[in-house]
Amino acid sequence: MRTHVWQKSSYCQEGEACVHVVATAETVHLTESSDVSRAILSATPDAFAALLHALKSSAPATL
């Protein structure tokens, strides 16, 4: 069984209420919990890239 190395978002505040991500060549998994066995989103790398692009293009400008 492969063990994935989950990465915590760099935008995470204190505590464990953070986004965690792990990627393979076939799938990107996201969870918002320190319990990485409960992935709430799984997508292909292309679909995940499209999601990130949509989020970034709709984000308000920062000063």
Give domain limits for the chain. 7-58
List, edge to edge, every strand of the sheet that includes 7-8. 7-8, 20-23, 28-31, 41-43
**Per-residue pLDDT averaged across 40-55, rounded?**
90
Q: Which two tokens stand for residue 16?
A: 């464990």
pLDDT of the residue at 1: 43
**pLDDT top residue among 16 and 18:** 18
Residue 32's pLDDT band, with cuts at 50, 70 and 90, is confident
For every residue of 24-43, DSSP letters joined together read: -SS-EEEESSS-TT---EEE
